[in-house]
Amino acid sequence: MKLGYTIIYVADVPRSITFYEAAFGLQRKFIHESNLYGELDTGETTLAFAGIEAAEMNGLSVLPNAPKGPAAAWEVCLVTDDVRTAFDRAVAKGCTPVNAPSDKPWGQTVSYVRDLDGCLVEIATPVGGSS
């Protein structure tokens, strides 16, 4: 087994894709003509977005993410060698800062932001890497 993709259910797929392009510099793979599904190229694993309606069409019940209140109990981690620059860009493009970059005892530099839907995004160096 290997992780093929991660799907984040959102209210507006094109808006979320455009936001991640601007805030994190990711490249769009495509948005389906229905606007209910889209993908971003993040390297080996795809980051995908699907509309809440798509979850319902698949017989799933999901609790929508919300910008206010506590973040859901999951996160997406984007890895970079320059956490400070990536963090500053994300905040300048509309992410809510959670934790500024800090060095961890295990060798990573880690920061956290929340996206426009309230999803928690970790921006970090590779494990064992440096900033």
pLDDT of amino acid 85? 98
Residue 18's domain spans which residues? Answer: 1-64
Task: Write the CB contacts of 22 (distance below 8 Å, at least 6 apart in sequence).
Answer: 93, 94
**Per-residue pLDDT tens for 4-53?**
999 999 999 999 999 999 999 999 999 999 999 999 999 889 999 999 99
What Rg do the C-alpha atoms of the chain give, in angstroms? Answer: 15
Task: Write the CB contacts of 65 (distance below 8 Å, at least 6 apart in sequence).
Answer: 8, 9, 10, 71, 72, 117, 118, 119
CATH of the domain at 43: 3.10.180.10
**Per-residue pLDDT tens for 46-96?**
999 999 999 999 999 998 889 999 999 999 999 999 999 999 999 999 999
pTM for the complete prediction? 0.92
Task: Among 64, 99, 116, identify where a domain stops.
Answer: 64
Q: Domain count for the chain, please give it.
A: 2
Do 35 and 78 belong to one domain?
no
**Per-residue pLDDT tens for 88-128?**
999 999 999 999 999 999 999 999 999 999 999 999 999 86
